[in-house]
Structure 1
Amino acid sequence: MTQTAKVTETDVLVIGGGTGGYSTALRAAALGLRVVLVERDKVGGTCLHRGCVPSKAMLHAAELVDGIAEARERWGVKATLESVDWPALVATRDDIVDRNHRGVTGHLAHAGVEVVRGSAELTSPRGARIAGYGEVTARRGIVLATGSRPRTLPGLVADGRRVVTSDDALFAAGLPESVLVLGGGAIGVEYASLHRSMGARVTLVEAADRLVPLEDADVSRHLTRGLKKRGIDVRTGARLLEAAVLDDGVRAAVRTPRGETRTVRAQRLLVAVGRVPVTDGLGLAAAGLGTDERGHVVPADWDRLETSVPGIHVVGDLLPPPSLGLAHASFAEGLLVAETLAGLRPAPVDYAAVPRVTYSAPQTASVGLSEAGARDAGHDVVVGTMPLTAVAKGMVHGQGGMVKVVAERNGRVLGVHLVGPHVSEMIAESQLIVGWDAEPSDVARHVHPHPTLSEAVGEAFLTLAGRGLHQRA
């Protein structure tokens, strides 16, 4: 809650109220620092209002729709889907977002964080001008957390109706009968999955030779197989040549890997080709800062996430790789920076141990190095795989999937990769395995409950440790 008297001096000034920004503010305030948090829109940022939370709410509804079809076709439950009440679905989604928003604002108020609505422009290494508020100086430091926006394509203007981005796709009117999704990363795959569950004909186009190209190749293969099985037209190694907006939808020309041109028609085109950092109007030059060629603000000290200007730190989507542009990574970055500004010596963020999840059907969840990445890094690699259908619970779900473990020969676990139902809820164990440098034998001595999908994880480690029950290394 904004105080009556304007603050002109504070310990920490946080510019941007998304996950990275508000986590910095909350932790800094808990450590006794005075904090001003500036946000031009709503606290919570893209993740809460346009991305992570509303999209996962919709994907849960999509899972329920899929469950009706499975009940009828596989289990003999004579259920039918009468219709999807779109306004009711939207109302539930918005209620979840609203309750989360009120929770975040309540936490900030209780912590004593001064939240100011407006845009901030740096005026010096320790000061910023907030539109409609005034100049604020930060004694300890400034934290840049202004996030990102969807990347657009030249000549293709998102109108929120026929052509949409991931920021507005959830809020376009009604459900389209057909959709062309451009981009096969996590966001594109999730939206393709959602629209297919809701009954749309979906074409998914990715320029790389496989979906989720930053993940392990086996993850891509199993994911593609699962999406195709659901009826999604997956086209990898394909490029959009041009697109025309029509009265009743869009018409796109797509170049295939063989050099042929194919025409795709759809009611809606969803552009999901990545995101770009937001630094416009931030006044970086006045503080002695710039960006790299992709618009990121690069830290000079990754252990502290501090820029080349002492006292100015950066978190969230403004960071280049190895930061991951993920909300949960931003939380960790916010904690690190807040504790640094409070004079503590926190451990750096271990990005290799941060999980990566795609919430489609099937889901993917990974942590650590892919098999190719491990080999490229010079490791002598051994690999263990276990299909989910090899355990009883995997048979119950009947959706396929797999567990893949990448480890050093006679050494530590380098990466774990999962594909299948609910694997987003299974990856936390593997985060600890990779983050604590465990070896397969360390994991193999722990018992996984039966019958669960997690048994497949346990079996993969048993096999690598030479103790496999149902398979041999």
Structure 2
Amino acid sequence: MAENSFDIAVVGGGPGGYVAAIRASQLGFKTCVVEREHLGGICLNWGCIPTKALLHTAQINHLLHSLDQFGFKADNVSFDVAKVVKHSRDTAKKLTQGVTHLLKKNKVTVIDGHAKLAGQGKLTVEKDGKKVQDVQAKHIILAPGARARTLPHIEADGESVWTYKEAMVPKEMPKKILVIGSGAIGMEFASFYHDMGVEVTVAEVVDRILPAEDREISDFARKTFDKKGIKIHTEANVEKVDKTKNGATATLKTKDGKTQQIEVDKVILSVGIVANTENLGLEGTKVQVEKSHIQTDEWMRTGEPGVYAIGDAAGPPWLAHKASHEGVICVEKIAGLSDVHPLDIKRIPACTYCSPQVASVGLSEQAAKDAGHKVKVGRFPYRGNGKALAMGEDSGMVKTVFDETTGELLGAHLIGAEVTELIQGYSIAQTLETTETELMHTVFPHPTLSEMMHESVLDAYGRAIHF
């Protein structure tokens, strides 16, 4: 049984699990990963990566229909849905193979199956209902991930009503769709299908789209999507979806109490996630689960000695990079490294890859005020930036929030072209505990979109040069 005995066993091979396993092996721990479906998890196979491939394809399609502004002409532009989907799936496949290689390179044992806790320091692994093997480990890290939440009154059937999986592999492009939910995933799908020529309607139960973002950014996004032709209903409940011969009829109840029916080919459910905490053998342990999420301390330790939890199953924010970072922190704490620090979730950047892109880190303006800060806020528009104008991307904004007394960068909120790349500059600034003074004294290259980051900081203190 020696081959089944490990220092660290990781349950789940997603961006939290496989990163934790690699870091554990680097630190000299004998490590295994138990994965029941596909290495790389939902993010790599059915989330972050393949959706970005789809969105890039949609961006190309949009550009091909906007060539005139750059002096080009293209006639009879068309696309092959099967090839669009194939590019997305091939991208995911390449990275899955990459994860397999990385685990092998780092001498991590990969066990194919579903793992359950089976006593202190023990796991039992099954595949297709049959026992594969038992695993012993001094430390067990749970990284089971999450799945799409469904609505009790709206059944996802894979035909008229889609989850994200069906929405990523359409056999043909629908003419009309309804997206239920306007968070990051919902707006990414709305953006993809709209830029591929589909008539898109979005229904959101709260009073604004992208509700996790700064309200000013949400409002800017709403106006932009309205202008693009995406129909958005906020404070609207989808009371029912009736399947029809050619698609579905959705009944919406709006904030004024009125109802209306929308005829569409497909409905996409995008209403959050549920952690995969069932069937993990948590019963009879001291692991606490609340609203499907495993409760942990700042070092990812659960109430059960030797058992840890990371990633989506350990609570929000539900982001791949958060899961990976938690995995590293967890393992390094187990190893007793002196320079390991708890994760500050306020410093985790969030990105939405719709068109326009949205990115943020830290506190929104309102959250900063609610936390007792007296704030200084700076803004700079894309239309004032030379690189943005040259790119034909003059719609967007960079917003920064500072503590008036200390100069601490409390938050940054961006909307526009390539902001998902720009946001990391502010993330680094927060990690280094940079104040407005250091940011003002930093030289930003010209001409770049990043200059707007500098100008926004300057604007917070009445010193903006170019606007």
Q: Shorter chain as normaliser: what TM range? A: over 0.9
Q: Does 1:39 pair with 2:51?
A: no
Match of 2:380 in 1: 386
Q: Does residue 1:464 correspond to 2:457, yes or no?
A: no
Q: Does 1:111 align with 2:106?
A: yes
Unaligned runs of 5+ in 1: none
Residue 317 (structure 1) shift: 0.4
Give the match for residue 295 of structure 1. 292
Q: Which residue of 1 aligns with 2:440?
A: 444
How far apart are the structure 1 equivalents of 2:87 and 2:186? 23
Give the deviation of 1:399 after TM superposition. Answer: 4.1
Residues 178 and 268 in structure 1, CA contact (< 8 A), matched pair in contact too: yes
- The yes-or-no answer on 1:70 pairing with 2:70 is no
Pairing 1:293-372 to 2, within 5 Å after superposition? 294-299=291-296, 301-302=297-298, 304-321=299-316, 324-345=317-338, 346-372=340-366
Q: Distance in 2 between matches of 1:80 and 1:306?
A: 59
Aligned to 2:149: 151
| CA deviation vs aligned residue, 1:148-176 (integer Å, no higher than 9, x gap) | 00000113221222111113310232211
Taking structure 1 as the reference length, what is the TM-score of the superposition?
A: 0.95
Give the distance between the partners of 2:327 and 2:393, measured in 1 at CA: 40
When normalised by structure 2's length, the TM-score is: 0.96
- Write the letter of the residue equivalent to 1:145: A
Q: Indicate how the Cα distance of structure 1 residues 81 and 353 shifts in structure 2: closer, same or farther if over 3 A, else same.
A: farther
- Decide which moves more: 448-457 or 99-108: 448-457
Q: Distance in 2 between matches of 1:18 and 1:186?
A: 20
Q: Distance in 2 between matches of 1:350 and 1:374?
A: 16
Does the 8 Å contact 1:54/1:94 carry over to 2? yes
TM-superposition CA deviations, 1:221-253 (whole Å, max 9, x none): 111111112110011111111111112111001
Query: Does the aligned pair in 1 maintain the 2:300–2:330 contact within 8 Å?
Result: yes
Q: Distance in 2 between matches of 1:102 and 1:162?
A: 33
8 A Cα contact 1:161 1:173, kept in partner:
no
Counting only pairs closer than 5 Å after superposition, residues 237-276 of structure 1 correspond to structure 2 as 237-276=235-274
Mapped pair 1:128 → 2:126: no
SS at match of 1:287: coil
Counterpart Cα distance in 2 of 1:329 and 1:338: 14
One-letter amino acid matched to 1:332 = H
Maintained 8 Å contact 2:322/2:348: yes
Q: CA deviation at 1:281?
A: 0.9
**In structure 2, the residue corresponding to 1:331 is in which secondary structure?**
helix
- Closer/same/farther in 2, CA of residues 160 and 172 from structure 1, 3 Å limit: farther
Distance in 2, matches of 1:81 and 1:159, equals 35
Deviates more, 1:49-58 or 1:334-343: 334-343
Q: Could you tell me how far apart the structure 2 residues matched to 1:107 and 1:133 are? A: 24
Where do 5+ consecutive residues of structure 2 fail to align? none
Give the aligned partner of residue 194 of structure 2: 196
CA contact (8 A) 1:124 1:286 kept: no
Range with greater deviation from structure 2 (332-341 or 153-162)? 153-162
Separation in 1, partners of 2:250, 2:232: 15
Distance in 2, matches of 1:153 and 1:229, equals 30
CA separation of 1:287/1:105 partners in 2, compared to 1, >3 Å: closer, same or farther? same
Indicate conservation of the 8 Å contact 1:65/1:81, yes or no.
no
The residue aligned with 1:84 is: 79
**Aligned 8 A contact 2:375 2:403 in 1:** yes
**1:129-165 Cα shifts (integer Å, max 9, x gaps):** 11132221112x1000000000001132212221111
CA RMSD of aligned residues (A): 1.4
User: How far apart are 1:468 and its partner, in Å?
Assistant: 2.3
Separation in structure 2 between the aligned mates of residue 166 and residue 235 of structure 1, nearest angstrom: 20
What is the deviation of 1:354? 1.1
Q: Deviations over 1:342-373 (max 9, x none)?
A: 22241111211111000000000100000010
- CA distance in 2 between partners of 1:257 and 1:389 (Å): 35
SS across alignment from 1:157: coil
- Counterpart CA distance in 2 for 1:113 and 1:398 is 45
1:305-336 deviation digits (Å, cap 9, x = unpaired): 11111211111001124xx1100111101111
Q: CA–CA distance in 2 between the matches of 1:227 and 1:80?
A: 26
**Counterpart-to-counterpart distance in 2, 1:81 and 1:307:** 59
- TM-fit CA distance, 1:469: 1.3
179-188 or 341-350: which moved more?
A: 341-350
* Letter of the 1:150 counterpart: A
Q: Per the alignment, in what secondary structure is the counterpart of residue 284 of structure 1?
A: coil
- Structure 1 runs, 4 residues or longer, greater than 6 Å off: none
CA deviations 1:64-120 (Å, max 9, x no partner) are: 011112213x23321245211112222222221111111100110111111011111
On the 8 A contact 1:250/1:265 being kept in 2, the answer is yes
Contact 1:402-1:419 within 8 A present in 2 as well? yes
Match of 1:213 in 2: 211
Alignment of 1:226-237 (within 5 A): 226-237=224-235
Establish whether residue 161 from structure 1 lines up as the match of residue 170 from structure 2: no
> In the aligned structure 1, how far is the partner of 2:207 from the partner of 2:416?
21
Provide the C-alpha distance between the structure 1 equivalents of 2:156 and 2:403, rounded to a whole number of angstroms: 47
Q: Is the 8 A contact 1:240 1:255 kept in 2?
A: yes
